[in-house]
């Protein structure tokens, strides 16, 4: 009889042990913050306002690959088949030298990319949200340093990181990534026009 009571009591405690780490609980997938009508997504080729013409296509490929790899929502390759469309404009791409050796040769760089991102509900033909100035930075050392990278390797890592940000922002919602303050966006230098020449005055 005592064994029966002990067995019943142990079974009754199982639900509570699950919450305390004694028994592994059922996996709960992360919530998808998208309207129920959005079952599939396409990515429109990104507009690129920078002076680096290849960035738009390379970043677009990285984002589409990341949606396919992530798999939480169906990716389609045609906007006509998609419920929602990711729309982006690349606003800035800045490469900065951070440190140099004794011969003033650059040893460390920073890559900084900034994009305006929007999400279009194709059926309603309206934007559900806009995320201006979404950013990603990458610091790296040149190949002459231990663990260093080539510029192309650094760019590929930057595209991959940024693609993950775009997918998280789209699926997990606002606050899953960070936008840069408008005050922090690097401004292109505007050349100062030369002062107008003043003709010499004839003293006589």
Confidence band of 29 (pLDDT split at 50, 70, 90): very low
In this predicted structure, the answer to whether residue 162 has a pLDDT above a threshold of 80 is yes
Query: What ranges do the domains of the chain cover?
Result: 28-177
Q: Which CATH superfamily is domain 28-177 in?
A: Lipoprotein like domain (3.30.160.150)
Mean pLDDT of 97-112: 86
Each residue's pLDDT tens digit, 33-42: 788 999 999 9
| Long-range residue pairs from 56-64, CB within 8 A, at least 24 positions apart, any chain | 56/90, 58/155, 58/159, 59/90, 59/113, 59/115, 59/159, 59/162, 59/163, 61/159, 62/159, 62/160, 62/162, 62/163, 63/88, 63/162, 63/163, 63/166, 63/167
Q: 163 — phi, psi (to 5°)?
A: -60, -40
Each residue's pLDDT tens digit, 183-202: 555 555 333 344 444 455 55
Confidence band of 147 (pLDDT split at 50, 70, 90): confident
In this predicted structure, the answer to whether residue 120 has a pLDDT above a threshold of 50 is yes
pLDDT of amino acid 89 = 97
CA dist 43 and 82 (Å) reads 9
pLDDT of amino acid 139 = 92
Min mean pLDDT across 84-93, 128-137, 176-185 is at 176-185
pLDDT of amino acid 5 = 47
3-class SS of residue 92: strand
In this predicted structure, the answer to whether residue 174 has a pLDDT above a threshold of 70 is no
Beta bridge partners, 94, equal: 112
The answer to whether residues 180 and 133 touch, using CB atoms and an 8 Å cutoff, is: yes
The answer to whether residues 90 and 59 touch, using CB atoms and an 8 Å cutoff, is: yes
CA dist 137 and 95 (Å) reads 10
Mean pLDDT of 72-87: 96
pLDDT of amino acid 148 = 85
Residue 7 burial (C-beta neighbours within 10 Å; 0-12, 13-18, 19+) = exposed
**Mean of per-residue pLDDT scores for the chain:** 79
SS3 content of the chain, % helix, strand, coil (to 5): 30, 30, 40
């Amino acid at each position: 009889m005592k064994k029966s009571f002990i067995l019943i009591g142990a079974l009754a405690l199982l639900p509570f042990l699950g919450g305390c780490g004694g028994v592994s609980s059922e996996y709960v997938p992360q919530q998808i913050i998208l309207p129920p009508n959005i079952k599939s997504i396409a990515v429109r080729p990104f507009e690129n306002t920078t002076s680096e013409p290849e960035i738009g296509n390379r970043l677009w490929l990285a984002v589409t690959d990341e949606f396919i790899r992530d798999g939480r929502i169906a990716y389609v390759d045609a906007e006509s088949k998609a419920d929602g469309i990711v729309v982006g404009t690349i606003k800035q791409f800045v490469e900065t030298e951070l440190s140099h050796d004794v011969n003033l040769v650059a040893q460390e760089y920073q890559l900084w990319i900034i994009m305006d991102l929007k999400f279009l509900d194709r059926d309603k033909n309206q934007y559900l949200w806009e995320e201006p100035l979404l950013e990603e930075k990458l610091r790296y050392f040149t190949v002459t340093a231990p663990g260093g990278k080539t510029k192309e390797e650094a760019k590929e890592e930057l595209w991959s990181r940024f693609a993950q940000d775009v997918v998280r922002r789209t699926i997990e919602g606002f606050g899953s990534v960070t936008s840069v303050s408008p005050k922090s966006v690097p401004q292109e230098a505007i050349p100062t026009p030369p002062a107008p020449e003043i003709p010499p005055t004839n003293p006589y």
